[in-house]
Amino acid sequence: MATVQFFSPPDSIKQLSDSGAFSSVPPLYACRDPDAPSDVDPTLERQIPTIDLSVLTQGDPARRSQMVRQLGRACEEWGFFVVVNHGVPETVREAMLAAAQGFFDLEEEEKAEHSGKHVMDPIRYGTSFNSKVEDIGYWRDYLKVVVHPAFHSPAKPLGFREVLGQYAACTRVVGMKLLRGIWESLELDEGYMNNALDLDACFQVCVANLYPPCPQPELAMGLPPHSDHGLLTLLHQNGVDGLQVKHGSKWVHVKPPPNSFLVNTGDHMEIVTNGRLKSVLHRAVINGRSTRMSIATVVAPSPDTVVEPVAQLVSSERPAMYRGVRYREYLEHQQGNKLREKSALDLLRVQ
């Protein structure tokens, strides 16, 4: 009689991948149809908008006005863009990737000290997205650390706290500069928006994602199609691609230029602009050869802010499309359930 082998979920995808014990994907992670036709349009790659942050912040008035308009169009038409000349030293960005790799290389027992019991824990390590509620698994390990308004950091590896602190501060500056440009493109007063969203006490979380090589990448996913909470997400990755964004009915494989950030708009940007700007669906695909690692930084309203459509973008012709919600409550709901496209945002739509 044949022996039936039972699969027990690993402590981490890294542990599973490093073991070399599997030549095929365990059924828990098989969530894709390998025979499905491709939904990626390679012709769209070169159309992804690029924003030069130095022009947005330091350019002469004419060039700056043009860049503000480009930023507005990028947010309205794509919800996604590449940022160059952002001012964050490459040494800081590379140090953050190295520090994250150092954390993922710790012993499983050391990482498990941060296996959060609650989705709002300020430091949380895990695998997939939310393994407590999912019926399938995703080929991903993660470390989520809240860095503002209160700064947190794991104690290990040595030096992680200092690197994270510098990286968080730098990316927060970039996020705020982009937000100022976006408000201007919508003819919204910067001071009013800062107060309405309490951005001095903004919520910022840094998420390190690890996608190890997979024996059958055509069957598994790093993360399924989803939108992000917050206003903006800034992404920095190692030299391995895997991010895809949805544009219209097609998906676009993103290949960022060197020394750039990938930025997408989040659900709370869609809410506060009353649907003028849309949060973008994106997903993470994996490969069978190389480990992909990314650092995603979410910049968001303060945790206790009730986010609702701003009055200037609500009218009789365009009434409020979303109900207001406290940011903390939205985050808790989204992170506590299955990751499924815009399912959290859909609950707030006014019928």
pLDDT tops 60 at residue 6 = no
Phi first, then psi, for residue 108 (nearest 5°) are -55, -40
Distance CA 348, CA 338 (A): 17
Residue 9 confidence (pLDDT): 67
Ranking 20-34, 103-117, 148-162, 207-221 by mean pLDDT, the lowest is: 20-34
CA angle 79, 60, 53 (to 5 degrees): 35
Write the single-letter amino acid at 325.
Answer: V
pLDDT per position as a tens digit, 43-64: 999 999 999 999 999 879 999 9
Read off the tokens for 251. Answer: 């998906």
The SS3 assignment for 350 reads: coil
Q: How many CB atoms lie within 10 A of CB 201?
A: 14
pLDDT digits (tens, 9 = 90+) for 176-205: 999 999 999 999 999 999 999 999 999 999
**DSSP letters spanning 165-231:** HHHHHHHHHHHHHHHHHHHHHTT--HHHHHHHHTGGG-EEEEEEEEE---S-TTT--SEEEE--SSS
Question: According to the model, what pLDDT value does residue 301 have?
Answer: 97
Between residues 339 and 2, the one the model is more confident about:
339
**Tell me: the pLDDT tens digits for 103-119?**
999 999 999 999 877 87
Lowest mean pLDDT among 84-88, 126-130, 217-221, 336-340: 336-340
For the ranges 16-20, 216-220, 243-247, which has the lowest average pLDDT?
16-20
What percentage of the chain has pLDDT greater than the value 70?
Answer: 93
- b or e along 16-34 (b: 16 or more beta carbons within 10 Å of the residue's beta carbon)? bbeeeeeeebbebbbbbee
Q: Residue 129, Cβ neighbours under 10 Å: how many? A: 20
Asked if pLDDT for residue 326 goes beyond 80, the answer is: yes
Instruction: Say yes or no to pLDDT of 129 above 70.
Output: no
pTM of the full predicted structure?
Answer: 0.94
Q: Which of 156-160, 183-187, 319-323, 337-341 has the lowest mean pLDDT?
A: 337-341
Instruction: Name the amino acid, one letter, at 75.
Output: C
Tell me the pairing of strands 250-253 and 282-284: unpaired
Give me the pLDDT at residue 21, please: 77
